[in-house]
Chain A
């Protein structure tokens, strides 16, 4: 017997004459794989156990006295004393004296007794035979040996057990102990070495991943038997790094929709997404377990950043508050510890870039803030007290990685241990201007809590043209930090978690790659995707409204030779004036129903989004004088009435936003802003959870959810399955076709069935008419896949007798159905012998002559619910169908 890979055992038949109890067992002990084997034992007396058994008590005539007789009725113990009585005459029979339990020899408890007459007088006399004394029985044995009887030991029945004697106790009981894997983290099962699964015991072969708890789970069986051989359940936490989608990360996109045309993360779930990050979208690809999250960003249109960076100085604010309260999700690390960790990562990338990509002798320094007096600290990297050393010429470049990391890691959190301090303006003086295409940069980490004269610093920075100050806000103090960046064209960086900080710092230090995006060229407006703006109120008529004009959506008119409204389709409009009223005031705006509009406060998509709306929507300026105009009032108070129009382009505004907005605000968009108009992606129908699954009944399928997107048609399924439905959409998307099967329920599960039947793997025989619905015009008949009173349905297996055909043979055998992934072989004799009567692979239906005569449409009609059984796979069994399987056997095979 050997262990197989599934944790079970393989039994190997031994040669004749040897026991079957050999085994080989592998188990772990102290982390080492141990193999223990028991060879096969030859069948000798040493492995044979013989135990005699009495012929009594079935034949016991006197259980109380402990004897029985058989073969004669001439012996009895009913004598009233310790004697047996032997009747007169010649006779013979068996006498078993259970009290005398010696099994062998003349005094065996089982005797064949033959009474022969010694003479004519004797034969007619009864005889008494001692049965005691009790417990000793010496009188009895003496009589049996010497008495006037012919006695012979009888043969006893015996129970013989071969190979039943216990094996040598060679396996000490060992409990299962989890292996090293339980203390480690893995991304997937294949990374878990088998040797690390159990340090003691036998791996059960059930290693699996628990998606709910993000952990791997398995069992280590104990070895041997008894309480000391107990099993143990083990777990290991899954770990997975979050990874940004590199087709997205760092690129510029015109719209969020364009950005999301691909998944934002290739590993880990997107979290912390925000578009309120100074010209950037930023998000985190979250890690699982001990994995590392990754911060990712994408650049909005008009975002300005440097592609190359010159000399850089990192400045750390080491004021007390930086060592205080923890930042966001940083596991109780202080802000300065967070800042150092982030800086460490970026610093290494920075050094690599300077060495490999940008070898132009840029200089890198690290300093603290505010205490220039400590400038001579030896741990200040390559600062020599008056100037930066050249990394290209002084030989320190190669050692920067190690040295830099060391110094950063030794950076004191607060107080006097801080090695170096420098004010921003002093660092600026040290660095000076870089080149126009490669400006120098100061990376200032701070929580903005330090007191100080901000205006002086800003003023000092105003003199530099090619020096950026990038402020890394580890709190949320943009008022104190952002002006420094604004003054120098640097980046103000603030994030929701450490990973996002990392991404932002990388952006500032390593430069943005300026990867171009494809701007969305303006397209023609459509009935459902359009932005219509006007210097008139947007109402359902063209004409006068209190001395001004009213404008009807989708109508563009000239007034005094001027086009006072404009209608545009999806696209990017860096200057809002292109897509908005050409002159005059801006008083009305219509957004069609499949349209999304974003208006930025500045040209070229800068200044942040100041207005955002999805259609259908109407916005009119809130002019007081219009509030007395009946048409305007109808629009404000009863938009559903106002927009009730046979033209769907107009009627679409009934159900949307209908609001007023200040005229000044609208005009500012036109004068200063930019616009992005997006057509909402058509939503396609999407099947719900019920799709592709099996259910006991229609209610269960409905309960599982028919559609995840779109409207289920029909709205619910009913009757018997399989069920088909459509998830329909109306916005131009694609409908989804969905289906679910009815769960197969067997009334009897045959012993030889290897797996339950499925909708593809089954063999179904019936003594009734068979079709796709289970009914005909007369009532109920057999439905494919439904195990009813006339039919038998089985899954894969080798059926050595004709049992699966029993119900069909009980009546007239009229039909069989073979699942689409199923092969059946019917043999004429049991145990797969005789001739092969039928060998076919599904999908297939076979009918009898009775079906041909009395319901021939079964051959010809289409079965929408069972498209896998077209008429071409339904055949007549040309012979007497009753012969199929009668007295034979069956194999049902599924790949």
Chain B
């Protein structure tokens, strides 16, 4: 019986992960960015579709802290103003709707993030 439950869990996990498409993941990320809801998720990224992290956290000053893993040991970290946060959210929303090519409209005062060689405290 225990063995059966374990197999079911694995199958469910595979099912859930495979169901979460890139578009869904980007839409989900955009939705959380829009509200700066505290958010922690994994997504499939990189050339081998590894499981990477993304986190969102509201800060006491009203800004929004954003973390995205971009490779095995590299992380993007941003502190986004409301305007920057909404722009980034719109960006991902655009991607989720299939707008991939070309430069998106670039804001003069867009986000400026750090690309770190280590995982920062979040």
Where the two chains meet, the residues of A that have a C-beta atom closer than 8 Å to any C-beta of B are: 767-769, 776-779, 781, 811-812, 814, 850, 852-857, 859-860, 875-876, 878, 880, 882
Q: Pick the contact of B108 from A779, A814, A857 — CB < 8 Å? A: A857
- Given the interface pairs A850-B70, A878-B101, the reply to whether A781 lies near B111 with Cβ below 8 Å is no
Q: A768-B115, A855-B112 are in contact. List 5 more A-B contacts (CB 8 A).
A: A779-B114, A814-B115, A852-B103, A857-B109, A876-B103
Q: A853-B91, A857-B109 are in contact. Are A776 and B103 (CB under 8 A)?
A: no
Whether the pair A778, B102 counts as a contact (CB closer than 8 A) is no
| Nearest Cβ on chain A to B120's Cβ, whole angstroms | 10
Closest residue of A by beta carbon distance from B80: A854
Smallest beta-carbon distance A856→chain B, Å: 4
| B52 CB → nearest A CB, Å | 11
Residue of A nearest to B91 (CB): A853
**Which residue from chain A places its CB closest to the CB of B114 in the assembled complex?**
A778
Q: Which of B47, B78, B101, B103 contacts A854 (CB 8 A)?
A: B78
Q: Taking the complex as formed, is B14 at the interface, i.e. its CB lies under 8 A from any CB of chain A?
A: no
Task: Show 28 A/B contacts (Cβ-Cβ < 8 Å), sorted by A.
Answer: A767-B74, A768-B115, A776-B112, A776-B114, A777-B112, A811-B71, A811-B74, A812-B74, A812-B115, A850-B70, A852-B104, A854-B111, A854-B112, A855-B110, A855-B111, A855-B112, A856-B106, A856-B107, A856-B110, A857-B109, A857-B110, A857-B112, A859-B106, A860-B106, A875-B103, A876-B103, A878-B101, A882-B47
Interchain nearest-CB distance for B36 vs A (Å): 17
Hey, which chain B residues are within 8 Å of A814, CB to CB?
115
Q: How many residues of B contact A (CB 8 A)?
A: 24
The interface residues of chain A lying within 8 Å CB-to-CB of B114 are 776, 778-779
Q: Which label, helix, strand, loop or mixed, suits the secondary structure of the B interface?
A: loop
Q: Is the CB of A850 within 8 A of B106?
A: no
Q: Among B78, B107, B115, which residue has the most Cβ atoms of chain A within 10 A?
A: B115
CB within 8 Å for A855 and B113 given contacts A811-B71, A812-B71: yes
In the assembled complex, which residues on chain B have CB atoms less than 8 Å from the CB atom of A776? 112, 114
Compute how far the CA of A859 lies from the CA of B113 in the bound complex, rounded to whole angstroms: 14
- Is B88 an interface residue when CB atoms closer than 8 A count as contact? yes
Determine if B77 is an interface residue (Cβ-Cβ < 8 Å): yes
**B92-122 Cβ-contact flags toward A at 8 Å (1 or 0):** 0000000001111011111111110100000
| A-side contacts of B78, CB under 8 Å | 854
Q: Please name all residues of chain B whose beta carbon is closer than 8 Å to the beta carbon of A856 when the two chains form the complex.
A: 106-107, 110-111
Give Cα distance in the complex from A779 to B118, angstroms.
Answer: 14
Which residues of B does A touch, CB under 8 Å?
A: 47, 70-71, 74, 76-78, 88, 91, 101-104, 106-115, 117
In the complex the two chains form, what is the Cα distance from A856 to B105 in whole Å?
A: 9
Q: Which B residues lie within 8 Å of A811 (CB)?
A: 70-71, 74, 115, 117
Measured CA separation A853–B91 after assembly (Å): 7
- Residues of A within 8 Å of B113, CB to CB, are 778, 854-855
A248 CA to B2 CA, complexed, in Å:
110
Q: Closest 4 CB pairs between A and B?
A: A778-B114, A856-B110, A854-B113, A856-B106
A670 to B39, CA, bound (A): 95
Query: Within the assembled complex, what's the spacing in Å between the Cα atoms of A276 and B117?
Result: 76
Q: How far, in whole Å, are A777 and B111 apart by their CA atoms in the complex? A: 10
Q: Nearest Cβ distance between residue B8 and chain A, in whole angstroms?
A: 36
A810 (CB) vs chain B CBs: closest residue: B71
Complex CA gap A164/B78 in Å reads 67
Complex CA distance for A769 and B116, rounded to whole angstroms: 10
Complex CA distance for A857 and B106, rounded to whole angstroms:
7
Chain B residue contacts of A812, Cβ below 8 A: 70-71, 74, 115
Question: Which chain A residue shows the least CB distance to B77?
Answer: A778
Q: Determine the distance from Cα of A854 to Cα of B116 in the docked complex, in whole angstroms.
A: 13
User: With the chains together, A859 CA to B114 CA distance in Å?
Assistant: 16
Q: Determine whether the beta carbon of A852 is less than 8 Å from that of B106.
A: yes
Complex alpha-carbon distance, A880 and B70, angstroms: 13
Chain A residues, CB < 8 A from B109: 857
Q: Is the CB of B103 within 8 A of A859?
A: yes
Set of chain A residues within 8 Å of B115, measured between Cβ atoms = 768-769, 781, 811-812, 814, 850, 854
- Tell me, rounded to whole Å, the shortest Cβ–Cβ distance linking B103 to chain A: 5
A854 to B113 alpha-carbon distance, docked (Å):
6
Known A-B contacts A778-B113, A812-B74, A853-B91; the reply to A878 vs B108 at CB < 8 A is no
User: Contacts of B117 on A, CB cut-off 8 Å?
Assistant: 811
Task: Specify which chain A residues have a CB less than 8 angstroms from the CB of B77 in the assembled complex.
Answer: 778
Say how far A399's CB is from chain B's closest CB, in angstroms.
91
C-alpha gap A855/B112 in the complex (Å): 4
In the bound assembly, the distance between CA atoms of A327 and B91 in angstroms comes to 90
CA A855 – CA B106 in complex, angstroms?
10
Measured CB to CB, the nearest residue on chain A to B73 is: A811
Residues of A within 8 A of B106 (CB): 852, 856-857, 859-860
B37 vs chain A, min Cβ distance (A): 19
Complex Cα distance, B69 from A872, in Å, reads: 30
Question: Which residues of B sit under 8 angstroms from A854, Cβ to Cβ?
Answer: 76, 78, 88, 111-113, 115
A131 to B111, CA, bound (A): 88
B78 to nearest A CB, angstroms?
6
- A21 CB to closest chain B CB (Å) equals 51
Q: Which residues of A contact B111 (CB under 8 A)?
A: 853-856
Instruction: Specify which of B74, B91, B103, B112 is in contact with A778 (CB 8 Å cutoff).
Output: B112
Report the Cα distance A879→B47, complex, angstroms: 13
Contact partners of A850 in chain B: CB under 8 A = 70, 76, 115
Residues on the B chain within 8 Å of A859, using CB: 103, 106
Instruction: State A781–B114 Cα separation when bound (angstroms).
Output: 8
> Which residue of chain A lies nearest to B74 when distances are taken between CB atoms in the complex?
A811
